[in-house]
A and B are shown apart, each in its own frame.
Chain A
Amino acid sequence: MKFRRFNDQGVKAFAEYLGELRANPAAEKPMDLLTDPQFTELLSVSIDSELPATFSSRMEFAQWLHAAATDSYVDIPRNDAGFWAWLSLALFDHVCPANEQGRRKPGADARHLIEVKDWKRRYRHLLQNAYEIFYLHRDVPKRALVALVNPLHKPGELTEQINGRQEIVTCPGCISLATFLCVDPDGKRRRGASGKFARVFGKAINRVSRTFDIPLMLPTQSAKLLHQKKLRKLVDTAIAEAADH
Protein backbone atom coordinates (compact mmCIF):
# COMPACT_ATOMS: atom_id res chain seq x y z
CA MET A 1 0.00 0.00 0.00
CA LYS A 2 1.35 3.42 -0.91
CA PHE A 3 1.58 5.62 2.18
CA ARG A 4 -0.33 8.89 2.06
CA ARG A 5 -1.15 11.73 4.43
CA PHE A 6 -4.41 13.30 5.52
CA ASN A 7 -4.96 16.91 4.53
CA ASP A 8 -6.84 19.20 6.97
CA GLN A 9 -10.15 17.82 5.78
CA GLY A 10 -8.92 14.26 6.25
CA VAL A 11 -7.72 14.94 9.81
CA LYS A 12 -11.08 16.53 10.57
CA ALA A 13 -12.98 13.58 9.10
CA PHE A 14 -10.90 11.13 11.15
CA ALA A 15 -11.49 13.20 14.31
CA GLU A 16 -15.21 13.11 13.56
CA TYR A 17 -15.06 9.33 13.28
CA LEU A 18 -13.36 9.12 16.68
CA GLY A 19 -16.16 11.24 18.12
CA GLU A 20 -18.75 9.05 16.46
CA LEU A 21 -17.08 5.96 17.87
CA ARG A 22 -17.58 7.24 21.39
CA ALA A 23 -21.31 7.52 20.76
CA ASN A 24 -21.50 4.28 18.80
CA PRO A 25 -18.62 1.92 19.66
CA ALA A 26 -19.54 -0.33 16.74
CA ALA A 27 -19.27 2.44 14.12
CA GLU A 28 -17.57 1.14 11.02
CA LYS A 29 -14.05 2.32 10.15
CA PRO A 30 -14.09 4.86 7.31
CA MET A 31 -11.32 3.07 5.43
CA ASP A 32 -12.31 4.67 2.13
CA LEU A 33 -10.88 7.93 3.51
CA LEU A 34 -7.38 6.46 3.18
CA THR A 35 -7.24 6.78 -0.59
CA ASP A 36 -9.82 9.49 -1.21
CA PRO A 37 -8.05 12.41 -2.96
CA GLN A 38 -10.46 14.83 -1.29
CA PHE A 39 -9.07 13.87 2.14
CA THR A 40 -5.54 12.68 1.38
CA GLU A 41 -2.49 13.56 -0.63
CA LEU A 42 0.75 11.83 -1.52
CA LEU A 43 3.62 12.11 0.92
CA SER A 44 6.59 14.27 0.04
CA VAL A 45 8.53 10.97 -0.10
CA SER A 46 7.43 7.71 -1.66
CA ILE A 47 6.94 4.79 0.77
CA ASP A 48 5.21 1.58 -0.18
CA SER A 49 4.65 -1.38 2.13
CA GLU A 50 2.05 -4.02 2.90
CA LEU A 51 0.34 -3.49 6.25
CA PRO A 52 1.05 -6.53 8.48
CA ALA A 53 -1.86 -8.41 10.02
CA THR A 54 -0.40 -8.25 13.52
CA PHE A 55 2.25 -6.49 15.56
CA SER A 56 3.30 -8.26 18.72
CA SER A 57 4.69 -5.06 20.27
CA ARG A 58 5.46 -1.39 19.72
CA MET A 59 8.99 -2.50 18.84
CA GLU A 60 7.76 -4.75 16.03
CA PHE A 61 5.65 -1.92 14.61
CA ALA A 62 8.59 0.52 14.73
CA GLN A 63 10.91 -2.00 13.08
CA TRP A 64 8.39 -2.58 10.30
CA LEU A 65 7.90 1.15 9.67
CA HIS A 66 11.62 1.85 9.72
CA ALA A 67 12.23 -0.97 7.25
CA ALA A 68 9.48 0.38 4.99
CA ALA A 69 11.30 3.73 4.84
CA THR A 70 14.82 2.39 4.50
CA ASP A 71 13.74 -0.04 1.77
CA SER A 72 12.54 3.01 -0.14
CA TYR A 73 15.76 4.94 0.71
CA VAL A 74 13.81 7.72 2.44
CA ASP A 75 13.03 8.87 5.97
CA ILE A 76 9.68 8.61 7.67
CA PRO A 77 8.15 12.12 7.81
CA ARG A 78 8.35 12.17 11.60
CA ASN A 79 6.92 15.67 11.99
CA ASP A 80 4.02 15.31 9.59
CA ALA A 81 0.83 15.21 11.70
CA GLY A 82 -1.24 14.39 8.59
CA PHE A 83 0.84 11.29 7.96
CA TRP A 84 0.50 10.01 11.53
CA ALA A 85 -3.26 10.55 11.49
CA TRP A 86 -3.48 8.65 8.18
CA LEU A 87 -1.35 5.79 9.52
CA SER A 88 -3.50 5.62 12.66
CA LEU A 89 -6.57 4.98 10.58
CA ALA A 90 -4.69 2.57 8.31
CA LEU A 91 -3.64 0.59 11.40
CA PHE A 92 -6.80 1.21 13.37
CA ASP A 93 -7.28 -2.47 14.21
CA HIS A 94 -3.88 -2.34 15.94
CA VAL A 95 -4.26 0.93 17.84
CA CYS A 96 -7.95 0.49 18.65
CA PRO A 97 -8.86 -3.18 18.31
CA ALA A 98 -12.50 -4.21 18.45
CA ASN A 99 -13.63 -6.59 21.17
CA GLU A 100 -15.56 -9.78 20.49
CA GLN A 101 -18.75 -7.79 20.06
CA GLY A 102 -17.06 -5.55 17.50
CA ARG A 103 -17.01 -2.57 19.85
CA ARG A 104 -14.05 -0.19 20.10
CA LYS A 105 -12.85 2.27 22.74
CA PRO A 106 -10.69 4.90 21.03
CA GLY A 107 -9.55 6.73 24.19
CA ALA A 108 -8.34 10.31 23.91
CA ASP A 109 -7.95 11.85 20.45
CA ALA A 110 -4.27 12.42 21.25
CA ARG A 111 -3.68 8.67 20.94
CA HIS A 112 -4.54 8.91 17.23
CA LEU A 113 -4.09 12.57 16.28
CA ILE A 114 -1.00 14.62 17.03
CA GLU A 115 -1.59 17.77 19.01
CA VAL A 116 0.34 20.00 16.63
CA LYS A 117 0.37 23.04 18.91
CA ASP A 118 1.72 21.18 21.90
CA TRP A 119 4.87 19.22 21.11
CA LYS A 120 5.20 18.19 24.75
CA ARG A 121 2.06 16.08 24.38
CA ARG A 122 3.09 14.45 21.14
CA TYR A 123 4.28 11.44 23.02
CA ARG A 124 0.66 10.44 23.59
CA HIS A 125 0.28 9.47 19.92
CA LEU A 126 0.51 5.68 19.91
CA LEU A 127 2.32 5.28 16.60
CA GLN A 128 4.42 8.42 16.42
CA ASN A 129 5.73 7.85 19.92
CA ALA A 130 6.70 4.22 19.33
CA TYR A 131 8.55 5.19 16.17
CA GLU A 132 10.17 8.28 17.70
CA ILE A 133 11.66 6.22 20.53
CA PHE A 134 12.86 3.57 18.09
CA TYR A 135 14.34 6.28 15.86
CA LEU A 136 16.15 7.97 18.75
CA HIS A 137 17.80 4.65 19.56
CA ARG A 138 17.97 3.22 16.07
CA ASP A 139 21.67 2.37 16.51
CA VAL A 140 20.73 -0.11 19.28
CA PRO A 141 16.91 -0.28 19.47
CA LYS A 142 16.96 -2.99 22.15
CA ARG A 143 18.16 -0.48 24.70
CA ALA A 144 14.74 1.22 24.49
CA LEU A 145 12.77 -1.99 24.99
CA VAL A 146 11.33 -0.64 28.24
CA ALA A 147 9.19 1.76 26.20
CA LEU A 148 8.56 -0.56 23.25
CA VAL A 149 7.79 -3.92 24.81
CA ASN A 150 4.00 -3.45 25.14
CA PRO A 151 1.32 -3.88 22.47
CA LEU A 152 0.53 -0.84 20.33
CA HIS A 153 -2.87 -0.20 21.85
CA LYS A 154 -1.70 -0.64 25.45
CA PRO A 155 1.52 1.28 25.99
CA GLY A 156 0.93 1.11 29.75
CA GLU A 157 1.61 3.55 32.54
CA LEU A 158 5.31 2.74 32.79
CA THR A 159 5.79 3.58 29.12
CA GLU A 160 3.81 6.80 29.47
CA GLN A 161 5.78 7.88 32.53
CA ILE A 162 9.10 7.10 30.82
CA ASN A 163 7.98 8.85 27.62
CA GLY A 164 7.03 11.96 29.51
CA ARG A 165 10.59 12.37 30.79
CA GLN A 166 12.86 13.71 28.09
CA GLU A 167 15.96 13.36 30.22
CA ILE A 168 15.39 9.60 30.22
CA VAL A 169 13.99 9.02 26.73
CA THR A 170 16.74 10.95 24.95
CA CYS A 171 19.63 9.61 26.99
CA PRO A 172 20.99 6.26 25.76
CA GLY A 173 22.49 5.45 29.15
CA CYS A 174 19.31 6.27 31.07
CA ILE A 175 16.99 4.32 28.83
CA SER A 176 19.42 1.37 28.84
CA LEU A 177 19.32 1.48 32.60
CA ALA A 178 15.50 1.61 32.64
CA THR A 179 15.38 -1.38 30.28
CA PHE A 180 17.95 -3.24 32.37
CA LEU A 181 15.81 -2.76 35.47
CA CYS A 182 12.35 -3.26 33.98
CA VAL A 183 12.75 -5.91 31.29
CA ASP A 184 14.10 -9.39 31.98
CA PRO A 185 16.58 -11.16 29.69
CA ASP A 186 13.67 -12.88 27.92
CA GLY A 187 12.21 -9.53 26.91
CA LYS A 188 9.34 -9.66 29.44
CA ARG A 189 8.49 -6.79 31.75
CA ARG A 190 9.49 -7.49 35.33
CA ARG A 191 7.03 -7.53 38.18
CA GLY A 192 7.17 -4.19 39.99
CA ALA A 193 8.13 -2.22 36.88
CA SER A 194 5.19 0.17 37.13
CA GLY A 195 4.35 3.80 36.58
CA LYS A 196 5.21 4.38 40.23
CA PHE A 197 8.65 2.94 39.59
CA ALA A 198 9.09 5.36 36.68
CA ARG A 199 8.30 8.38 38.85
CA VAL A 200 10.87 7.40 41.49
CA PHE A 201 13.36 6.41 38.79
CA GLY A 202 12.93 9.79 37.06
CA LYS A 203 13.77 11.68 40.23
CA ALA A 204 16.72 9.40 40.96
CA ILE A 205 18.13 9.89 37.45
CA ASN A 206 17.81 13.65 37.79
CA ARG A 207 19.94 13.53 40.88
CA VAL A 208 22.51 10.97 39.73
CA SER A 209 23.07 12.55 36.32
CA ARG A 210 24.35 15.73 37.98
CA THR A 211 27.24 13.72 39.30
CA PHE A 212 27.68 10.83 36.87
CA ASP A 213 27.76 10.63 33.09
CA ILE A 214 25.21 7.84 32.70
CA PRO A 215 25.72 7.35 28.91
CA LEU A 216 29.32 6.37 29.60
CA MET A 217 28.41 3.69 32.12
CA LEU A 218 27.12 0.15 31.74
CA PRO A 219 23.69 -0.43 33.28
CA THR A 220 25.29 -2.82 35.79
CA GLN A 221 27.45 0.12 36.95
CA SER A 222 24.86 2.87 36.93
CA ALA A 223 22.23 0.66 38.64
CA LYS A 224 24.47 0.57 41.70
CA LEU A 225 24.09 4.35 42.04
CA LEU A 226 20.37 4.02 42.72
CA HIS A 227 19.93 3.79 46.45
CA GLN A 228 16.21 4.58 46.68
CA LYS A 229 14.31 1.98 48.69
CA LYS A 230 11.52 1.84 46.11
CA LEU A 231 14.01 0.90 43.38
CA ARG A 232 16.05 -1.51 45.45
CA LYS A 233 14.17 -4.70 44.62
CA LEU A 234 14.37 -4.21 40.86
CA VAL A 235 18.02 -3.15 41.07
CA ASP A 236 18.95 -6.27 43.06
CA THR A 237 16.97 -8.56 40.77
CA ALA A 238 18.44 -7.10 37.59
CA ILE A 239 22.03 -7.21 38.87
CA ALA A 240 21.61 -10.78 40.11
CA GLU A 241 20.17 -11.91 36.75
CA ALA A 242 22.95 -10.13 34.87
CA ALA A 243 25.52 -11.97 37.00
CA ASP A 244 23.81 -15.31 36.23
CA HIS A 245 24.00 -14.62 32.50
Chain B
Amino acid sequence: MPIERINFTNRTKLTREQANVRVLPGPPPNKFEVYLDLRRLPDSARMAAIFVEAYHRTTRMRFKLGTVANHAPPSPDELCLTEFPDWKDVSFRVKVTDVGESPGKIIAWANGIRPKGPDDDQQSDLVRWKDAELDGRLWDMEFDEKGPIVLVEKTVGHASVGQDGRFIAVAFPEVLRRSLTEALLVDKTSGDDPEHWFTSWTKGYLTGKLGLPAMDIDADDVEQRRDWIEQAVKAFGRQFKLADWWSKASGTKGAE
Protein backbone atom coordinates (compact mmCIF):
# COMPACT_ATOMS: atom_id res chain seq x y z
CA MET B 1 0.00 0.00 0.00
CA PRO B 2 1.52 3.35 -0.97
CA ILE B 3 2.44 5.70 1.86
CA GLU B 4 0.97 9.15 1.46
CA ARG B 5 2.36 12.31 3.00
CA ILE B 6 -0.16 14.39 4.83
CA ASN B 7 0.23 18.14 4.55
CA PHE B 8 -0.90 19.15 8.04
CA THR B 9 0.11 22.79 7.74
CA ASN B 10 -1.48 23.61 4.35
CA ARG B 11 1.92 24.39 2.91
CA THR B 12 1.53 25.52 -0.70
CA LYS B 13 3.71 24.07 -3.43
CA LEU B 14 4.83 26.82 -5.76
CA THR B 15 4.86 25.92 -9.44
CA ARG B 16 7.73 26.85 -11.73
CA GLU B 17 5.48 29.60 -13.07
CA GLN B 18 5.33 31.03 -9.55
CA ALA B 19 8.98 30.55 -8.57
CA ASN B 20 11.90 30.13 -10.91
CA VAL B 21 15.57 31.01 -11.23
CA ARG B 22 17.67 32.15 -14.13
CA VAL B 23 21.45 32.31 -14.18
CA LEU B 24 22.74 35.43 -15.91
CA PRO B 25 25.50 35.46 -18.51
CA GLY B 26 28.87 36.80 -17.45
CA PRO B 27 32.18 35.79 -15.97
CA PRO B 28 32.18 33.71 -12.77
CA PRO B 29 31.01 33.90 -10.06
CA ASN B 30 27.66 33.55 -11.76
CA LYS B 31 24.90 35.93 -10.84
CA PHE B 32 21.27 34.86 -10.87
CA GLU B 33 17.82 36.35 -10.74
CA VAL B 34 14.71 34.96 -9.13
CA TYR B 35 11.31 35.14 -10.73
CA LEU B 36 8.45 35.15 -8.23
CA ASP B 37 4.72 35.45 -8.67
CA LEU B 38 3.18 35.10 -5.21
CA ARG B 39 -0.16 36.78 -5.94
CA ARG B 40 -2.05 33.57 -5.23
CA LEU B 41 -0.85 33.32 -1.66
CA PRO B 42 -3.45 34.34 0.95
CA ASP B 43 -3.45 37.83 2.46
CA SER B 44 -2.30 36.32 5.75
CA ALA B 45 1.04 35.57 4.07
CA ARG B 46 1.81 39.21 3.24
CA MET B 47 4.39 39.63 6.00
CA ALA B 48 6.01 36.24 5.42
CA ALA B 49 9.72 36.29 4.56
CA ILE B 50 11.06 34.93 1.28
CA PHE B 51 14.28 32.96 1.19
CA VAL B 52 16.12 31.41 -1.73
CA GLU B 53 18.62 28.63 -1.12
CA ALA B 54 21.16 27.44 -3.67
CA TYR B 55 22.60 24.02 -2.96
CA HIS B 56 24.82 21.29 -4.31
CA ARG B 57 26.23 18.44 -2.27
CA THR B 58 27.70 20.00 0.88
CA THR B 59 27.52 23.57 -0.31
CA ARG B 60 24.58 25.80 0.41
CA MET B 61 23.95 29.53 0.07
CA ARG B 62 20.91 31.34 1.40
CA PHE B 63 19.54 34.70 0.36
CA LYS B 64 16.72 36.77 1.86
CA LEU B 65 14.44 38.45 -0.66
CA GLY B 66 12.26 40.58 1.61
CA THR B 67 8.64 39.76 2.29
CA VAL B 68 5.67 38.74 0.17
CA ALA B 69 4.22 42.25 0.42
CA ASN B 70 7.55 43.94 -0.10
CA HIS B 71 10.02 42.14 -2.31
CA ALA B 72 13.47 43.45 -1.48
CA PRO B 73 16.01 41.23 -3.18
CA PRO B 74 19.66 41.95 -2.56
CA SER B 75 21.45 43.91 -5.28
CA PRO B 76 22.36 41.86 -8.38
CA ASP B 77 25.97 41.91 -7.19
CA GLU B 78 24.94 40.06 -4.04
CA LEU B 79 22.88 37.37 -5.79
CA CYS B 80 26.07 35.60 -6.70
CA LEU B 81 26.93 31.89 -6.67
CA THR B 82 30.34 32.51 -5.15
CA GLU B 83 30.54 29.13 -3.42
CA PHE B 84 29.89 27.02 -6.52
CA PRO B 85 32.45 26.29 -9.21
CA ASP B 86 29.79 25.47 -11.84
CA TRP B 87 26.24 26.85 -11.80
CA LYS B 88 25.00 23.84 -13.79
CA ASP B 89 25.38 21.69 -10.67
CA VAL B 90 23.31 23.99 -8.50
CA SER B 91 19.68 23.49 -7.55
CA PHE B 92 17.52 26.05 -5.82
CA ARG B 93 14.65 26.10 -3.41
CA VAL B 94 12.35 28.97 -2.53
CA LYS B 95 10.76 29.18 0.91
CA VAL B 96 8.05 31.56 2.03
CA THR B 97 8.26 31.49 5.80
CA ASP B 98 6.08 32.86 8.57
CA VAL B 99 8.02 35.25 10.80
CA GLY B 100 5.05 36.38 12.90
CA GLU B 101 2.49 34.11 14.52
CA SER B 102 4.29 30.76 14.01
CA PRO B 103 7.87 31.77 13.34
CA GLY B 104 9.64 29.36 11.03
CA LYS B 105 6.52 27.74 9.62
CA ILE B 106 6.84 27.26 5.86
CA ILE B 107 3.81 28.74 4.13
CA ALA B 108 4.86 27.92 0.58
CA TRP B 109 7.86 26.43 -1.14
CA ALA B 110 9.36 25.21 -4.36
CA ASN B 111 12.08 22.62 -4.19
CA GLY B 112 14.60 21.20 -6.67
CA ILE B 113 14.50 24.15 -9.06
CA ARG B 114 17.01 23.64 -11.85
CA PRO B 115 17.97 27.12 -13.04
CA LYS B 116 17.69 28.21 -16.61
CA GLY B 117 21.06 29.06 -18.03
CA PRO B 118 22.19 32.16 -19.89
CA ASP B 119 21.93 30.43 -23.24
CA ASP B 120 18.82 28.31 -23.02
CA ASP B 121 15.29 29.43 -23.42
CA GLN B 122 12.67 27.22 -21.91
CA GLN B 123 14.40 23.93 -22.40
CA SER B 124 17.25 22.05 -20.79
CA ASP B 125 18.76 18.69 -21.62
CA LEU B 126 16.25 15.87 -21.29
CA VAL B 127 18.76 13.39 -19.95
CA ARG B 128 22.07 13.58 -18.19
CA TRP B 129 25.07 11.39 -18.96
CA LYS B 130 27.41 9.62 -16.60
CA ASP B 131 30.38 7.28 -16.94
CA ALA B 132 29.97 4.00 -15.07
CA GLU B 133 31.39 0.52 -14.73
CA LEU B 134 28.83 -1.63 -16.52
CA ASP B 135 30.54 -5.00 -16.50
CA GLY B 136 30.51 -5.58 -20.23
CA ARG B 137 27.34 -3.65 -21.14
CA LEU B 138 27.59 -0.50 -23.24
CA TRP B 139 24.84 1.50 -21.58
CA ASP B 140 22.16 1.46 -18.93
CA MET B 141 19.98 3.96 -17.12
CA GLU B 142 19.28 5.17 -13.63
CA PHE B 143 16.90 7.75 -12.24
CA ASP B 144 17.05 10.33 -9.49
CA GLU B 145 14.79 13.18 -8.47
CA LYS B 146 16.05 15.32 -11.35
CA GLY B 147 15.24 12.74 -14.01
CA PRO B 148 16.90 10.08 -16.12
CA ILE B 149 20.64 9.52 -16.33
CA VAL B 150 22.16 7.51 -19.17
CA LEU B 151 25.09 5.48 -17.91
CA VAL B 152 27.79 4.65 -20.42
CA GLU B 153 30.61 2.20 -19.85
CA LYS B 154 33.45 4.43 -18.73
CA THR B 155 36.08 2.81 -20.89
CA VAL B 156 34.09 3.92 -23.95
CA GLY B 157 33.38 7.51 -22.86
CA HIS B 158 29.96 9.10 -22.81
CA ALA B 159 30.61 12.15 -24.98
CA SER B 160 31.56 10.19 -28.05
CA VAL B 161 28.91 7.53 -27.58
CA GLY B 162 26.07 10.02 -27.08
CA GLN B 163 26.92 11.69 -30.38
CA ASP B 164 27.41 8.51 -32.37
CA GLY B 165 24.68 8.17 -34.99
CA ARG B 166 24.39 4.42 -34.45
CA PHE B 167 23.89 4.86 -30.72
CA ILE B 168 21.32 7.59 -31.35
CA ALA B 169 19.43 5.35 -33.76
CA VAL B 170 19.41 2.29 -31.55
CA ALA B 171 19.38 3.57 -27.99
CA PHE B 172 17.54 6.89 -27.96
CA PRO B 173 14.03 5.45 -28.51
CA GLU B 174 14.68 2.99 -25.70
CA VAL B 175 15.99 5.80 -23.48
CA LEU B 176 12.75 7.66 -24.06
CA ARG B 177 10.61 4.53 -23.53
CA ARG B 178 12.33 3.65 -20.24
CA SER B 179 12.14 7.24 -19.00
CA LEU B 180 8.44 7.50 -19.69
CA THR B 181 7.83 4.07 -18.16
CA GLU B 182 9.64 5.16 -15.02
CA ALA B 183 7.61 8.36 -14.76
CA LEU B 184 4.19 7.08 -15.73
CA LEU B 185 4.12 3.45 -14.62
CA VAL B 186 6.62 3.30 -11.75
CA ASP B 187 6.29 6.78 -10.21
CA LYS B 188 2.70 7.05 -11.52
CA THR B 189 3.12 10.80 -11.78
CA SER B 190 0.05 12.81 -12.68
CA GLY B 191 1.83 14.92 -15.28
CA ASP B 192 1.22 18.18 -13.45
CA ASP B 193 3.25 17.55 -10.29
CA PRO B 194 5.61 20.58 -10.32
CA GLU B 195 8.28 18.64 -8.43
CA HIS B 196 8.45 15.70 -10.83
CA TRP B 197 10.86 15.98 -13.74
CA PHE B 198 8.26 14.55 -16.10
CA THR B 199 6.25 17.77 -15.86
CA SER B 200 8.99 19.86 -17.46
CA TRP B 201 9.47 17.15 -20.11
CA THR B 202 5.79 17.35 -20.97
CA LYS B 203 5.57 21.11 -21.22
CA GLY B 204 8.90 21.75 -22.83
CA TYR B 205 9.14 18.84 -25.18
CA LEU B 206 6.56 16.09 -25.46
CA THR B 207 3.55 18.28 -26.14
CA GLY B 208 5.47 21.29 -27.46
CA LYS B 209 7.95 19.73 -29.90
CA LEU B 210 6.59 16.23 -30.49
CA GLY B 211 3.02 17.44 -30.64
CA LEU B 212 1.67 14.72 -28.36
CA PRO B 213 -1.70 15.20 -26.70
CA ALA B 214 -1.48 16.19 -23.04
CA MET B 215 -1.03 13.20 -20.76
CA ASP B 216 -4.09 13.29 -18.54
CA ILE B 217 -4.62 9.56 -18.19
CA ASP B 218 -5.58 8.15 -14.82
CA ALA B 219 -2.58 6.67 -12.99
CA ASP B 220 -4.28 3.28 -12.63
CA ASP B 221 -5.04 2.93 -16.33
CA VAL B 222 -1.84 1.10 -17.15
CA GLU B 223 -2.85 0.05 -20.66
CA GLN B 224 -3.69 3.58 -21.77
CA ARG B 225 -0.47 4.86 -20.29
CA ARG B 226 1.49 2.18 -22.15
CA ASP B 227 -0.25 3.24 -25.39
CA TRP B 228 0.65 6.87 -24.75
CA ILE B 229 4.29 5.93 -24.17
CA GLU B 230 4.39 4.02 -27.47
CA GLN B 231 2.85 6.99 -29.27
CA ALA B 232 5.57 9.19 -27.84
CA VAL B 233 8.35 6.83 -28.93
CA LYS B 234 6.90 6.59 -32.45
CA ALA B 235 6.56 10.37 -32.71
CA PHE B 236 10.15 10.74 -31.56
CA GLY B 237 11.38 8.29 -34.21
CA ARG B 238 9.34 10.03 -36.91
CA GLN B 239 10.53 13.49 -36.02
CA PHE B 240 14.20 12.61 -35.90
CA LYS B 241 14.23 9.98 -38.66
CA LEU B 242 16.31 7.74 -36.44
CA ALA B 243 16.99 5.06 -39.05
CA ASP B 244 18.71 7.71 -41.18
CA TRP B 245 21.14 8.34 -38.32
CA TRP B 246 22.20 4.71 -38.57
CA SER B 247 22.65 4.89 -42.33
CA LYS B 248 24.69 8.07 -42.17
CA ALA B 249 26.90 6.79 -39.36
CA SER B 250 27.59 3.39 -40.90
CA GLY B 251 27.87 4.68 -44.45
CA THR B 252 25.11 2.44 -45.84
CA LYS B 253 22.01 3.46 -47.75
CA GLY B 254 20.17 0.18 -47.29
CA ALA B 255 19.67 -2.62 -49.84
CA GLU B 256 19.82 -1.51 -53.43
Contacts and interface: CB of A to CB of B under 8 A. Distances in A.
Q: Counting chain B CB atoms within 10 Å of each CB, which of A132, A169, A210 scores highest?
A: A210
A166 B53 CA distance: 14
Contacts of A213: 51, 95, 97, 104-106
B106 A212 contact: yes
A216 B104 CA distance: 6
Given A211-B8, A213-B95, A216-B49, A222 B104 contact: yes
B104 A170 contact: no
Given A169-B58, A170-B59, A221 B103 contact: yes
Given A211-B8, A212-B106, A216-B99, A166 B58 contact: yes
A211 B106 contact: yes
B103 A216 contact: yes
B58 A216 contact: no
B9 interface: yes
A215 interface: yes
Q: Is the interface of A mostly helix, strand, loop or mixed?
A: helix
Nearest to B85: A79
B57 interface: yes
Contacts of B51: 213, 215-216
Nearest to A214: B104
9 contacts: A119-B57, A136-B60, A170-B59, A170-B60, A210-B5, A210-B106, A211-B11, A212-B106, A216-B104
Interface string A90-132: 0000000000000000000000000000010000000000001
Given A221-B103, A221-B104, A222-B104, A215 B62 contact: yes
B97 A216 contact: yes
Contact of A211 (B9, B58, B99): B9
A217 interface: yes
A221 B58 CA distance: 25
Contacts of A119: 57
A169 B51 CA distance: 19
B55 interface: yes
Contacts of B95: 213
A51 interface: no
Interface residues of B, number: 19
A79 to B, nearest CB: 9
Contact of B58 (A136, A214, A217): A136
A4 B104 CA distance: 46
Contacts of B8: 211
A31 interface: no
A119 B49 CA distance: 34
Interface string A157-169: 0000000001001
Interface in A218-233: 221-222
Nearest to B102: A212
B48 to A, nearest CB: 10
Q: Which 10 A-B pairs have the closest CB atoms?
A: A217-B104, A213-B97, A170-B60, A212-B104, A216-B104, A211-B9, A213-B104, A213-B95, A170-B58, A213-B106
Nearest to A212: B104
Interface string A135-175: 01000000000000000000000000000001001111000
A4 B254 CA distance: 61
Nearest to A169: B58
Contacts of A210: 5, 11, 106
Given A210-B5, A213-B104, 8 more contacts: A119-B57, A166-B57, A170-B55, A211-B8, A215-B51, A216-B104, A217-B104, A221-B104
A214 B57 CA distance: 19
A217 B5 CA distance: 24
Nearest to A171: B60
Interface in B85-122: 95, 97, 99, 103-106
Contacts of B60: 136, 170-171
Contacts of B104: 212-214, 216-217, 221-222
B207 to A, nearest CB: 31
